[in-house]
Amino acid sequence: MVQPAVLRLREQIQRLEGVPLRARTVLPFGVEAIDSRLPGGGLALGALHEVAGGGNAAINGAAAALFAARIAARTKGKILWCITRQDLFAPALAQVGLHADRVIYVDACDEKTVLACFEEGVRHGGLGAVVAEVARLSMTSSRRLSLAAEASGSIAIAVRRWRRQTEAADFGQPTASATRWRVSTLPSSPLPVPGVGRARWLLELIRCRAGESADFVMDACDVQGRLALPADVADRSATTQHGRRSA
């Protein structure tokens, strides 16, 4: 439970950042470990969020795209997805709950066009979410997107994807996004029999406006788009908490 003093401090930070203080609707992840670290108990709607892959996934963008699709799938309405590379795999998006009949694809020739379509989609206001794959995101562009999302109430998700590993350093540059996430793949959940278990992710909340950064080891999305704490991690957390209470 967030204490009133913390809420007041967040409001002061928002004033300094020039963020309007009107109440924002949030989209909970449905995982207490994550939602408790986000202001309002979920991912802010009417805001811009950034997602990137960690390690080699910074180039292929697969884990970041699935994480973005998971967020988009839990909104209502059509999803606009803007790309420059024709390698987005629709069946994979369906496996995390975002089915093809909900997605409108925009295949742009360059990033400038992607950003223009991204902003227009966010301003439209009639979409559940707008997702765009971009390598560079300047403070000016991100601020325009953030203001457009705030005005329309739509959630905007920038999937940061680069063509060379060295370009990923751009992810450290400041933007106007409400949150910034990095998604890295981990070894899958162990099974008692030979086979491949449920995929695992390391979710890094690198930036959270009016909040704190955090890391989460999670089982990747299922067909309903649900994340979950791995059983062994949840058991270990419960044991640790019990030990602290006993102490």
For residue 126, the domain's CATH number is: 3.40.50.300
Instruction: Enter the pTM of the model.
Output: 0.83
Residue 2 lies in a domain: no
Residue 19 lies in a domain: no
- pLDDT tens digits for range 132-178: 999 999 999 999 999 999 999 999 999 999 888 888 888 989 999 99
Residue 3 lies in a domain: no
- pLDDT tens digits for range 18-40: 555 445 699 999 999 999 999 99
Gap between the Cα atoms of 154 and 168, Å rounded: 27
Amino acid at 85: R
Question: Positive or negative, the Cα torsion across 6, 12, 16, 17?
Answer: positive
Distances (CA, A) of 4 to 10, 11, 18, 26: 10, 11, 21, 19
Residue 235 lies in a domain: yes
Beta bridge partners of 134: 160
Read off the pLDDT band of 6 (50, 70, 90).
Answer: low
HEC readout, 94-154 = HHCCCCHHHEEEEECCCHHHHHHHHHHHHHHCCCCEEEEEECCCCHHHHHHHHHHHHHHCC
Residue 112 lies in a domain: yes
Residue 5 lies in a domain: no
Gap between the Cα atoms of 183 and 219, Å rounded: 12
Mean pLDDT over 206-233 rounds to 86
Kindly tell me if the per-residue pLDDT of 238 is higher than 50.
no
Do 151 and 177 touch, CB atoms closer than 8 A?
no
Counting DSSP H helices and E strands in the chain, the numbers are: 8, 10
Residue 7 lies in a domain: no
Domain count, the chain: 1
The range of the structural domain enclosing residue 78 comes to: 24-164+173-182+196-246
Residue 188 lies in a domain: no
